[in-house]
Amino acid sequence: MNVQTKKEGFTIIEVVLVLAIAGLIFLMVFIALPALQRNQRDTARKNDMSRAQTAIVNAANDNRGKLPTLNNAFIAKYLAINGDEFVDPAGKNYAFAELTEATSPTGFDGTDSGQTAVRVYYTTGAVCAGNGAVTLNQGARKVALRLVLEGGGVSCVNN
């Protein structure tokens, strides 16, 4: 009498198939992760620009409507209060730089290891016009802040 025993376990093809599927899943995660992190940092930068715009309005209110000088003293008094920091999500300081052009600034500068600060461009007498450009001659009390984002594009806020 011939008794056949049933073999238990997986065949080599089943094991290879499962490993291939797991490898594809890991590959997709590693490809998507940097983009997610970049978007998260850009969202934080946009929030920082809104916070800076609010600080500009508060400073103007404290000075009878006169726009403040955007420098380190302004940051210390209105943005870095009570131990709070005004730094880029990558850990670099923000620095305000005047930009008189209406066209959009280009090129994210926060990834350059030689850069000590990420530039926030401000234009007085301007309001955001879309795509990072501004419309000039909109009044002495208007100011537009623009920041080139790491993921591309420009964030623009105005009062």
pLDDT tens, residue by residue, 6-31: 778 889 999 999 999 999 999 999 99
- When divided into structural domains, the chain yields a total of 1
pLDDT of 116 reads 75
Residue 32 has pLDDT above 60, yes or no: yes
- Domain of residue 117: give its range: 12-158
Asked whether residue 3 is assigned to any structural domain, the reply reads no
Asked whether residue 2 is assigned to any structural domain, the reply reads no
Asked whether residue 66 is assigned to any structural domain, the reply reads yes
pLDDT of 112 reads 58
Asked whether residue 72 is assigned to any structural domain, the reply reads yes
CA 154/CA 123 separation, integer angstroms:
14
Distances (CA, A) of 94 to 28, 88, 112: 33, 6, 14
Q: Are strands 154-158 and 143-148 parallel, antiparallel or unpaired?
A: antiparallel
Bridge partners, residue 94, by sequence:
118
Asked whether residue 7 is assigned to any structural domain, the reply reads no
The number of beta carbons lying within 10 Å of the beta carbon of residue 52 is: 24
The band of 41, judged by pLDDT with boundaries at 50, 70 and 90, is: very high
pTM for the predicted model, two decimal places: 0.78
Q: What is the pLDDT of residues 99-138, one digit of tens each?
A: 888 888 887 766 555 667 888 999 999 999 988 889 998 7
Asked whether residue 54 is assigned to any structural domain, the reply reads yes
Bridge partners, residue 158, by sequence:
144
Mean pLDDT along residues 145-159: 90
Bridge partners, residue 39, by sequence:
none
Asked whether residue 4 is assigned to any structural domain, the reply reads no
